[in-house]
């Protein structure tokens, strides 16, 4: 790790890769694969972060992931017998995170599963339900799969008590079969219909998913762990009360990358998180949809943010506004992190630089400067190589994500940035 003394003079690109952060020392547990989630980071980064904290004399009892996504850090905290607090604005993310970090008894899971199947077999569904369905869902499903999913969802709700920790388990299983049973192009994380797809059978997909999740749950069963709390909320919402923690391990959303709400529309609509999935874009950091006063707020940008935004203004004003909003949100994020940490606490961020229309989005420098500005005593930085990235790793000329190899390669490395309070 390099200790930064002057952000403006620091050449971030020249920072060498530290192989310590590149790969994990053990196989990733199945629990981390129970549900697809874009931008999930590898679980071993949590282990590495905790090892690193120890070298700095920090033995955290309670950790947080303020953008907890599908609960990678939450689950690892549980495995390490640590208290955890996490939040994410996306209800699909927190559903997965809750399912991952709860302790389940196999016998109970099997009992609920049998009841669900029994209820399902006895249910009759009126075909008119499809005619009355949400238009967006009708767009994604054939009638047969839609009706089977509808029946399965009502069977789950009829079988598992509302307040039971077992409900997120079964809803998470349901959520992860929504894509294979739909017309959504299998290999794409983006919403795209595959006209040639034969959607999977609902009950078979559910059975397979259930088996996988039971196996995952048995792989690492830990009882009596300290408190794990996961909230569905906007981290930057001013009324949001946050706990004090010893360490934050997180990966912020990327600058204007993709709309998480759009990627999870099937789950959001099926699970009634929204009538219109686009409503869930609101407040999501990095979204292109926002409402704020650019002329007034832009003055709050730090120097690194300001220079990127002003470079962009000439080429793409609307993009410049979105990027400015992103940087402002990240600045607020670092302030909130600072106030959440206990004395001598530490915040560790995993973040990558990107490029748009030839302009470097120096997210790492911007974040490091933000950490200094809000009072972190020391800021340390290193770089890691990304291996096995499941996302589309290229960008087109216009900066859009693509898997076309002629595009510009991105994210082959990313930064680990640490702020010490």
283 contacts ligand SAM (rule: CB under 6 A): yes
Nearest by Cα to 68 from 96, 38, 88, 98: 88
Among candidates 353, 366, 260, 358, which has minimal Cα distance to 303?
366
The residue among 142, 149, 135 whose CA lies nearest residue 277 is 135
Of 202 and 350, nearer to ligand SAM (C-beta) is: 350
Interface pick for ligand SAM out of 181, 251, 265, 353 (rule CB under 6 A): 251
| Sheet with 62-65: strands ordered across | 2-3, 378-385, 413-420, 341-351, 245-250, 62-65, 83-88, 228-232
Among 88, 148, 259, 369, binds ligand SAM (CB under 6 A): 88
Nearest to 206 by CA among 248, 265, 145: 145
Using CB under 6 A as the binding rule, whether residue 386 contacts ligand SAM is answered as: no
Binding of ligand SAM by 236 (CB under 6 A): yes
109's CB contacts (< 8 A; 6+ apart) are 166, 169, 210, 214, 217
DSSP-assigned beta bridge partners for residue 88: 232
Q: Does 37 bind ligand SAM (CB under 6 A)?
A: yes
Residue nearest ligand SAM, CB atom distance: 69
Confirm or reject binding of residue 284 to ligand SAM (CB under 6 A). yes
Q: Does 90 bind ligand SAM (CB under 6 A)?
A: yes
Q: Select from 89, 312, 337, 371 the one that contacts ligand SAM (CB under 6 A).
A: 89
Instruction: Classify each residue of 102-113 as buried b or exposed e, where b means 16 or more C-beta atoms within 10 Å of its C-beta.
Output: bebeeeebeebb
Regarding 18 and contact with ligand SAM (CB under 6 A), the answer is no
Binding of residue 288 to ligand SAM (CB under 6 A): no
Those residues whose C-beta lies under 8 Å from the C-beta of residue 325, and which sit 6 or more positions away, are: 290, 292, 294, 297
Compute the least distance from the CB of residue 97 to ligand SAM, in Å. 8
* Minimum CB–partner distance for residue 5 and ligand SAM (Å): 29
Q: Is 24 in the site for ligand SAM (CB under 6 A)?
A: no
Kindly write out the interface string for residues 63-82 of this chain, putting x where it contacts ligand SAM by CB under 6 A and - elsewhere: ----x-xx-x----------
Residues that bind ligand SAM (CB under 6 A): 37, 39-41, 67, 69-70, 72, 87-90, 93, 234-236, 251, 253, 260, 283-285
């Amino acid at each position: 790790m390099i200790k930064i003394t002057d952000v403006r003079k620091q050449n971030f690109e020249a920072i060498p890769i530290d192989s310590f952060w590149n790969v994990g020392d053990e196989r990733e547990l199945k629990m981390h694969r129970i549900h697809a989630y874009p931008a999930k980071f590898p679980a071993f980064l949590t282990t590495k972060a905790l090892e690193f904290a120890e070298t700095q004399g920090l033995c955290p009892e309670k950790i947080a992931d303020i953008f907890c996504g599908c609960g990678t850090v939450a689950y690892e905290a549980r495995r390490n017998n640590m208290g955890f607090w996490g939040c994410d604005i996306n209800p699909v993310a927190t559903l997965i995170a809750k399912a991952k970090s709860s302790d389940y008894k196999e016998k109970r899971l099997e009992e609920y599963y049998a009841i669900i199947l029994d209820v399902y077999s006895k249910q009759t569904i009126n075909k008119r339900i499809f005619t009355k369905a949400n238009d967006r869902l009708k767009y994604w499903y054939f009638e047969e799969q839609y009706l089977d999913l509808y029946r399965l969802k009502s069977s789950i709700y009829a079988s598992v008590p509302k307040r039971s920790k077992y409900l997120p388990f079964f809803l998470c299983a349901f959520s992860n079969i929504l894509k294979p049973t739909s017309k959504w192009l299998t290999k794409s994380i983006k919403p795209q219909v595959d006209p040639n797809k034969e959607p999977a059978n609902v009950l078979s997909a559910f059975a397979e998913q259930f088996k996988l999740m039971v196996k995952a749950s048995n792989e690492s069963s830990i009882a009596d762990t300290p408190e794990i709390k996961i909230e569905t909320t906007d981290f930057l919402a001013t009324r949001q009360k946050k706990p004090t923690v010893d360490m934050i391990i997180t990966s912020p959303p990327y600058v204007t990358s993709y709309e998480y709400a759009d990627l999870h529309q099937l789950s959001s609509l099926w699970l009634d998180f929204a009538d219109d999935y686009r409503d869930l874009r609101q407040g999501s950091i990095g979204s292109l949809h926002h409402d704020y006063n650019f002329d007034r707020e832009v003055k709050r940008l730090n120097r690194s943010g300001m220079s990127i935004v002003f470079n962009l203004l000439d080429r793409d004003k609307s993009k410049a506004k979105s990027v400015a909003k992103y940087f402002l949100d990240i600045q607020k994020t670092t302030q909130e992190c600072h106030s959440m940490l206990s004395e001598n606490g530490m915040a560790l961020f995993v973040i990558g630089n990107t490029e748009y229309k030839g302009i470097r989005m120096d997210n790492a420098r911007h974040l490091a400067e933000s950490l200094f500005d809000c009072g972190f005593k020391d800021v340390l930085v290193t770089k890691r190589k990304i291996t096995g990235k499941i996302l589309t790793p290229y960008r087109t000329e216009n900066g859009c994500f693509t898997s076309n190899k002629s595009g510009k390669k991105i994210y082959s490395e990313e930064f680990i940035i640490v702020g010490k309070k």
